[in-house]
Each structure stands twice: as C-alpha cells, then as structure tokens.
Homo-oligomer: A and B are copies of this chain.
C-alpha cells in the first residue's frame, strides 16, 4: 500500500472506530455531516470556490432507518478498507451491485442513489476523496496534447509518456485517478482547456501546442472529475496559467465555471478540483461583435440561463456582467468552430494569440 492509500484507509477505519467508541461508552452511535442542500452552500470569497456552510445533519442509530444507514456505512467502510489493502479499485455501480453479496440483508443498498450518496458522505466526513478510496468514475477523463513528460503509475507498472512524442493524434488519455501521474518535465507555457473535440483537433492539426507551448486539455463538454483534477494540478504544481476556451453561450460559461470555481453539487471537493485562477478566453460576446462571427439567436432557455448567471456569485465581476449584458443585448451566441468562417487557421494564427496577449498569458 502506498502512503496515500494507507492514510485513506486509516481515515476510514477511524470512522468505524468512532462508532465502536460510542457503543463502548453506552452512547447511541451517530455521524454528523454538513447539510448538503443549496441553502447550506456558500461562496467562499477568499478561496473563490463553493464550500459548505455550518449547518449539520446527524445520522443516528436511534431509529431503524438511521441504524440501517450506519450499518451500510460500516459495511462500505469494510469493503473500501479491503480494497485499499489489496490495491484494487471499483466503480460506484459495482459497489451497489456488490452489496448484494454481503451477508447481512439490512446492509444491502436499495438503489444506486443510496450507495452514491453514502460514498459522498464518507468523502465529506473522512476528508478523503472518492479517488483515494479507489472508487473509479464511470465517466472517462479527457485527453491531453502538449510538451509534458509524465510518469503514470498504472496497475501493471510505471509508464513514462511524453504527451506529444509518445502518443497518437488522439493524445494522452487521462486515467481515472490523475493523482497516479507524476510530472517529470514540462516545456509548456500554459494550459488551454478546450470544450469541443472539433476545436481540439483543429488546434492539434495546426500544431498550436508545438508553436505556442500550449498544453491542450480536451474538456468534452462538462468536464469529468479526472480532467478538472489534472487541470488543477497542472496549475498548482507546475505554475502554469490555465485558460478555458469554449463556445460563446451560457452553458459554456458554466463549463468554465466548473473548471474555475467548482460546482454546488461537489462543494466538498472544490479545494481538490477547482482552479480559481483559470481565465476565460472565449468565445466572448465581445468577440461575436468584433470578429463578426456567424451566430444563432438566443433561445428562451439561453436568456434564462444568462439571467441566472448574472445572479450567480461566481459571475459577479465587472468582466462577466459586461459580457453577459452585451450578449443579452445583441441576442446572439456563437460556437468555437464559427471562427472557421475566417479560415481554418484564423483561430491559431490570429484569435488565440491576440486573446492570450490581451490576457497577459503570452
């Protein structure tokens, strides 16, 4: 077991030990966790991320339902501790099905929501992330292309990979747990997260990563946890500026938001996943005007989403207010690939260099 696995296992066992001590002292066992409702989530102005507030709810064995919840927690802790000891891993879905094989029927999960929620509870209480329990997501991380040499600890040994020279056109596939990656050598100047596969492929074809020292990270829509985690590590450990390049519509601003500020749903993970220093490249509403891009009109749901972003503390900056108000005024949105209306090289020869220069990245 690695030191990290050891620590995760200890945190879990400590949780179970707390129940044991409660029993010993004649107390009814219980576990307190932050209330995970929208009203108990706060924006931490200093850290620039979402965090839980002070309200807590208690899972106590003073009812049959409560006792069952704690029983399930104990069985799950036992499973996870074994998993760590054996250096294995599993998915949330496997955990749910696996509970069918447990000897106590009361410990079995009724549905997958229940097992998912329990694992999130354990993450919060133990302060160990799911990845460190060796729980794998169903969703794959994205792919990386750029001047970076890494060593990944796979379950069949270490692999050293240069993310340009040792990979195909598709790039390096981020593993489910990017904390198995060690950064060996980095010639990149900045990270460029890209929303769509089409644009990612354009940048790679045009050699943008080679010419500008960009480490391109394909987000593929709403980014997976693995992708956000790797992005944060690239920023924190390699001191690389992180930039995010998406379509110019409210849904894409949310993608930027999830990279930069985390999400309400995973507020307990903000410190682990969010990169508050990430900067938005575009497509900005101002770009739609400046470059006269082909557009679509805003739909009603676009307008609603923009209006709710104006209320969102993450977007309450002069920059975002100006851009969002401009977008509502021009009533237009544009895709990344709309830049092709100016030719296939416009994005790499003109648009991105200009924006990166304005932003002080290049």
Contacts and interface: CB of A to CB of B under 8 A. Distances in A.
Interface of A: 88-91, 93-95, 97-98, 100-101, 136-141, 143, 152, 154-156, 159, 161, 164-176, 180-181, 196-198, 201-202, 204-205, 207, 210, 218, 220, 294, 335, 337-344
B143 A173 contact: yes
Contacts of A166: 159, 161, 166
A143 B140 CA distance: 10
Contact of A173 (B95, B136, B171, B198): B171
A344 B98 contact: yes
A94 B340 contact: yes
A97 B138 contact: no
Contact of A161 (B138, B168, B176): B168
A94 B198 contact: yes
14 contacts: A88-B205, A88-B344, A90-B340, A91-B201, A97-B338, A97-B339, A98-B343, A136-B201, A138-B198, A139-B197, A140-B143, A159-B166, A166-B166, A168-B172
A146 to B, nearest CB: 12
A202 B161 contact: no
A344 B167 CA distance: 31
A80 to B, nearest CB: 13
A171 B156 CA distance: 12
B167 A173 contact: yes
Nearest to A292: B100
Given A140-B220, A155-B205, A341 B97 contact: yes
Contact of A168 (B136, B175, B220, B338): B175
Given A152-B168, A169-B180, A205-B88, A100 B294 contact: yes
B198 A294 contact: no
A92 to B, nearest CB: 8
A193 to B, nearest CB: 16
Contact of A170 (B101, B138, B174, B198): B174
Given A94-B198, A155-B169, 5 more contacts: A90-B202, A98-B341, A159-B165, A161-B167, A170-B174
Contacts of A171: 173
Nearest to A336: B93
A181 to B, nearest CB: 8
Contacts of A337: 91, 93-94, 97
Contacts of A172: 168, 170, 173
Contacts of A294: 97, 100
